[in-house]
Structure 1
C-alpha cells in the first residue's frame, strides 16, 4: 500500500476513534466508565503507533518525498511542517491553549473550590511536569534541526543512497520524538484530560487539513 492510501485510511479510522472519545462518559461516573475511557485513549495512542511505523518504513524507501511532495498532505500542511511532520512542541502549545488559564487564575479557582477535572484544572504538579517536558522537547527539536542543517550543508560528494539513508534516519528520529511527546504527555494527564487533549489535537489536525484542501482547490492543485 502507498503511503497516500495508508494515510487516507488511517485518517478515517482516527475520525472514528475521536468520535468514540466524544461519546464516552465524561467525566467518568463509574469505574467501568473510567476503564472505557482509558481503553479508548490507548486505542488512539496505538493508532499513532501504527502511523509512526508505516511512515518510518516509507521514509526509508524515499525520505526526500516527505519534504518535496509529502504524500497525502496539502500545501498548507507542508508549509507548517518541521522535518516532514508536525513540530512536537505544538502539543504543549495546544495544552496551554486548551487550559486557557494563567497560573494566577488557576490558583484563584482552586481557592474558590472550582474544579472540573479537565484541562482547565491542571494541577501545579502537572503544569511543572508539562513545562519540563516542553524544555526537553525543545532541546531535542533543536538538536534534530541542527542535524538536518548539517545534512543540507554536506558536500555534494555525499550523494545518492548514503545521503538519502542519513536523511531517512533524521526523519525517523523526528517521528520518534513526535510519538514520544504524545506518550509523555499522556503520562502526565488524567484519562479525562488525555481524552480532551487527543480530541483537540485531532480537531487541529483535521481543521488544518480542511483549510489546506480548500486552499489547494482554489489554486487548482487538487
Structure 2
C-alpha cells in the first residue's frame, strides 16, 4: 500500500513523464530542422526548467518521506536497478557525450550529429568537468557509506538491546522511553539520508548545467534529445519487463492451484 507521499508523487511523476515525451518530440523536430540558435536556446531552456520542477517537487516531498525516494514505487524494476542515490548517475552524462561525439553523422537520424563536430576546447572543458563531477560523486558515495555504517554504530546497537530487554520484561514505561529514543535516532538517520539525496541531486544538476554550458545551442538540443530518449525508453523497457513478470506469476499461480 502506497503512503500519501508516494501516491501524490506517483501522480506528479506520471504527468511529468508525459510532458517529458512532449519535450522529446519537440527536441527531435528541432534537431532535424536545425533552426536558428534562438529557437534551440528556447527549447533547451524549457526542458531544463522541466527538470528543475522535478527536483523542486522531489525535495518538498522528501521532507515528509525521504525513504519513498530510495525505494520509488513509481519506477519500474529495471529503472530501480540503475538508480544511484535516488536518481541517475552523473557519470552517465559524460558517457553519453562520448557516444554522441563518436556517432556517425550519416546514421544518427539527426540526433547527436553535431556532437561529432565538438572542438578541441569543448572536449577539454568536458573532460575537466567530468573529473570535477567524479570527485563530487565520490564525496556523495562516502557520505552514503557513512550513513549506512551508522546503522551499526554503538548507539543503535545499544538501542536495539534496550528495546529487546524492555519488551521481554513487559515494562511498558521502559518500552515507551526506548521507543522515544529509537524515534529520535531514526529521525536523525532520515535527515542524513535526505542530506545525501540532495547532495546527489545537486551533482546531477551541476553536471547537466555544466555540459550544456560547454555545448552550443544545437549541440545541447542533440544531447538532451538523446538523453531524454534514453530515459523514456528505459521506462518503457522496464514496463514491458514488469508486465511479463506479472503474467508469468499469474500463470505460475494457476499451475499451482490446478495441482
TM tier relative to shorter chain? 0.7 to 0.9
Q: Post-superposition shift, 1:197?
A: 0.3
Task: Provide the residue aligned with 2:102 in structure 1.
Answer: 100
Choose from 36, 41, 59 the match for 1:38: 41
Are the aligned partners of 1:81 and 1:87 in contact in 2 as well (CA < 8 Å)? yes
2:18 match: secondary structure: helix
| Matching of residues 39-188 of structure 1 within 5 Å | 39-68=42-71, 70-100=72-102, 118-154=114-150, 155=153, 156=156, 159-188=185-214
Q: Which has the higher helix share?
A: 2
1:87 match: secondary structure: coil
For residues 35 and 71 of structure 1, the distance between their equivalents in structure 2, rounded to whole angstroms, comes to 39
Unaligned segments of structure 1, at least 5 residues: 102-115
Q: Based on CA coordinates, which of the two structures has the bigger radius of gyration?
A: 2
Are the aligned partners of 1:59 and 1:171 in contact in 2 as well (CA < 8 Å)? no
Choose from 5, 26, 30 the match for 2:11: 5
Q: Post-superposition shift, 1:100?
A: 1.1
For residues 86 and 32 of structure 2, the distance between their equivalents in structure 1, rounded to whole angstroms, comes to 35
Task: Provide the residue aligned with 1:195 in structure 2.
Answer: 221
Are the aligned partners of 2:147 and 2:193 in contact in 1 as well (CA < 8 Å)? yes
For residues 34 and 234 of structure 2, the distance between their equivalents in structure 1, rounded to whole angstroms, comes to 30
Q: Post-superposition shift, 1:96?
A: 0.3
Runs (4+) of structure 1 moved beyond 3 Å? 25-29
CA distance 1:205–1:25, shift in 2 (3 Å): closer
TM-score w.r.t. length of structure 2: 0.74
For residues 31 and 117 of structure 2, the distance between their equivalents in structure 1, rounded to whole angstroms, comes to 18
Are the aligned partners of 2:101 and 2:117 in contact in 1 as well (CA < 8 Å)? yes
Are the aligned partners of 1:22 and 1:199 in contact in 2 as well (CA < 8 Å)? yes
For residues 42 and 151 of structure 1, the distance between their equivalents in structure 2, rounded to whole angstroms, comes to 36
Q: Post-superposition shift, 1:117?
A: 7.4
1:10 match: secondary structure: helix
Give aligned pairs, total. 205
Q: Post-superposition shift, 1:28?
A: 3.9
| Matching of residues 20-35 of structure 1 within 5 Å | 20-24=26-30, 26=32, 28=34, 33-35=36-38
